[in-house]
Amino acid sequence: MDALIEAGNKADRKRRRSYGPPKDPSVPQPRDSPLDSKDKGKEPAKRPAKTAEKVDAVVASISRNTTVPRNLSKLGSKTPRTELKVENNKFTPWAFQHKLHHQARWREEAQEALEDAEILKTEERGVMAAEGPMERTFKMTQDEIVNSIGEEQRRYRKEWKLDEGPYRSRYTRNGRHIAIAGKRGHVASFDWLIGKMHCELELRETCRDITYLNDHSHFAVAQKQHVYIYDQQGIELHRLREHIDITRLEYLPYHWLLVSIGNPGVLRYHDTSIGHVVATHKTKLGACQSMAQNPHNAVIYLGHQNGTVTLWTPNLDEPAVKLLAHLGGVTSLSVDPSTSGRYLATSGMDGKVKVWDCRNWKGCVREWEQRGTGHAEVEWSQKGFLGVASGGTVNVYTPPSILTEHRGSPPLYLTHPIPHRPLTSARFCPYTDMLTVGHANGLSSIIVPGAGEPTFDSSEVDPFESKKMRREREVHNLLDKIQPDLITLDPDFVGTVAEPEAQDEFADHLHVPSHRLPRWEKLKRAGMPDPGMTPASASEAKKASGKGHDDDDMELGYSASDTSESEYEVDEVDHGEGGEEPVVRKKKKKSALKAYLKKAGGNVVDPTVARIKAKMEMRRKEIQLARIKERQAMVQRKPSALDRFRRPPRL
């Protein structure tokens, strides 16, 4: 009974604390304002008394120059949060104002989490390492690797058995989707991570290559005659009639360019944003079976049947670099993305694999014989691993052994036998440790520990992006599209000042070395007439050069102002009057050219005069033709982004 009474008293005290003392109904009470109802009956919060804390001098000195992430700090963030200040609070709805404050707080928390994630980015690539000197990593089989890794990474090991091979594959930039194309016409696009099929086509004609465009929503297929573009549902959208008998395809995502090469040996750049061919180059080296792009500068690398490798850009009709790489035809190319495109790997029909330094081209860095027979396929991973698929095996090599100058084959990192010949393609999946090899019976995916990049930039590529995020990214990429004219071997040249153009030797003859000048120009510079000249020959040459006018002297590049003091002689001295200083009047001497061209008899044929006449006439025509072409080029040339760095032409 006492316990019940004590419980009732506690409830009464609690009710009085919440609502105050009971009101007398007989006494009229003032009406409460709705604005004061929130604070009514609340007691002021008592602040705890501050206790003096002992401050450690060592800790205080360290804390001045160091910071701890807020989500790891035991006391939390001591900095006050920035609240959103809303003007005219009287007219702002309470729910909307509350939402704005929450959004500002969420943005601040997201920024703090991003800063902490940069500090706590502890993801590292996993690699296989030998425990003892007698162990080798290439002796590890795929079954042993699968049994020693987690359940999530076990999905990378797959075998797709298909009947319409051999197959070629291509991944999207985020590594989430894969597109495959069989030589007999089987084409498919699907999400390999969750096993969702986007589309599957039976084209019933030869398919040589396949590539995605900006994302998995569109892909291009090089079929027997032309190139076709399909959407995610497998509906044919376009047929590119300009691309005939294509063997290889590449897509430049930052320029929106679809690049193709085929048996005719014609390289074409097709702008997918406007639907026009922006550049066409004839390689004049026959059919081409291998092509790769440099992700750093978007330069296209082609391997030809005569063993040469050529580098192409849309703004040059000739190859920027031409290299003799192999004694036989080049079967495969690949550029290392981990070193900003510094190294190039090639394989040829001579059975060799070579690694080249793209900065100097002074010979291959390393060369070795491929394992097995047949055509080899090479591919670089995001971390610099080189995969070589040849014969019936897939071999993986790791840096820095493949980038050091040494004779013989580099040490193997991983090997896997594939009995289904031929091996037609090898592709590393971005951001995963997986290598997909296409062969006659389908595709095989093997696990290569440490081959992929462990982290990704969600603003650039995001494997987990939604449909709305993909659309937003596509619009931003189109607004940030780079013009084809900016593709060069050295992309850092944009923004630099152009060097002054080389001057013509006739336009600036005073800076030309003496050994490159003709005899009459040497005599003119020395101020001496030609001793073997007759007056008749000088007169004839003068008439042939333009009837003695000074305009011809200007056409040749010199004028009266170019004469020095040695070309003047003192004529007379005027002493003046009234003690003024004497004035020296000078008379211009005849130049060596006029003395050479002076001739009394006009009917004398001199071979020297005829030679000078022909030379001056040819030079005059060349100058006129060059000026005409320069004016026409200014009118007909299309505007370019590089015009801001171009010097104005001389009219």
Give the tens place of pLDDT for each residue, 495-540. Answer: 777 666 554 544 455 566 666 777 767 777 666 555 555 555 555 5
CA distances from 431 to 15, 180, 461 (A): 62, 19, 10
| Rounded Cα–Cα distance for residues 248 and 250 (Å) | 7
- 463, 191 contact by CB (below 8 A): no
Please report, as a single letter, which amino acid is at residue 445. Answer: S
| Rounded Cα–Cα distance for residues 625 and 537 (Å) | 30
Between 296 and 576, name the one with better pLDDT: 296
| Rounded Cα–Cα distance for residues 252 and 474 (Å) | 14
Q: Which residues, including other chains, have CB under 8 Å from residue 589's CB and lie 6 or more apart? A: 527, 567, 568, 569
CA dihedral 362, 363, 364, 369 (to 10 degrees): 180
- 175, 456 contact by CB (below 8 A): no
- 330-335 sheet: strands from edge to edge: 330-335, 343-348, 352-357, 364-369
Q: What pLDDT sits at residue 11? A: 56
* Position 393 confidence tier, pLDDT thresholds 50, 70, 90: very high
Q: Which residues, including other chains, have CB under 8 Å from residue 197's CB and lie 6 or more apart? A: 188, 189, 190, 191
Q: Which residues, including other chains, have CB under 8 Å from residue 260's CB and lie 6 or more apart? A: 222, 227, 243, 246, 248, 249, 250, 267, 268, 270
Q: What pLDDT sits at residue 405? A: 86
Between 152 and 125, name the one with better pLDDT: 152
The model's pTM is: 0.62
Give residue for tokens 């102002």. 561
Q: What is the mean pLDDT of the chain?
A: 78
Q: What pLDDT sits at residue 214? A: 92
SS3 156: helix
CA angle 211, 212, 214 (to 5 degrees): 145
| Rounded Cα–Cα distance for residues 305 and 566 (Å) | 66
Q: What pLDDT sits at residue 64? A: 59
| CA quadruple 412, 416, 421, 424: dihedral sign | negative
| Rounded Cα–Cα distance for residues 173 and 324 (Å) | 31
Q: 175's torsion region: left (phi>0), alpha (psi -120 to 50) or beta?
A: left
- 460, 469 contact by CB (below 8 A): no
Residue 130 CB coordination number (10 Å)? 12
Instruction: Report pLDDT digits (tens) over 598-637.
Output: 654 455 567 777 788 888 888 889 988 888 887 777 666 6
DSSP assignments along 388-446, one per residue: EEETTEEEEE-TTGGGS--BSPPPEEEEEE--SS---EEEEPTTSSEEEEEETTEEEEE
SS3 25: coil
pLDDT at 554 over 80: no
pLDDT at 223 over 70: yes
Residue 422: Cβ-neighbour burial (10 angstroms; 0-12, 13-18, 19+): middle
Retrieve residue 601's tokens: 């008899």
Q: Give the helix/strand (H/E) hosting 198.
A: strand 196-202
Instruction: Report pLDDT digits (tens) over 36-81.
Output: 444 444 455 455 554 545 556 666 666 656 665 555 554 444 444 4
Task: Measure the N-to-C terminal CA separation of the chain; round to a whole number of Å.
Answer: 115
Return the half-sphere exposure (C-beta side, CA atoms, 13 A cut-off) of residue 421. 10
Residue 307 CB coordination number (10 Å)? 18
Question: What's the rounded mean pLDDT across residues 386-397?
Answer: 93
What are 180's strand-pairing partners?
Answer: 169, 188
Q: What pLDDT sits at residue 501? A: 59
CA angle 127, 128, 130 (to 5 degrees): 140
Instruction: Report pLDDT digits (tens) over 102-126.
Output: 888 888 888 887 777 666 665 666 7
Length of the chain, in residues: 651
Q: Give the helix/strand (H/E) hosting 571.
A: strand 568-574
| Rounded Cα–Cα distance for residues 291 and 276 (Å) | 21
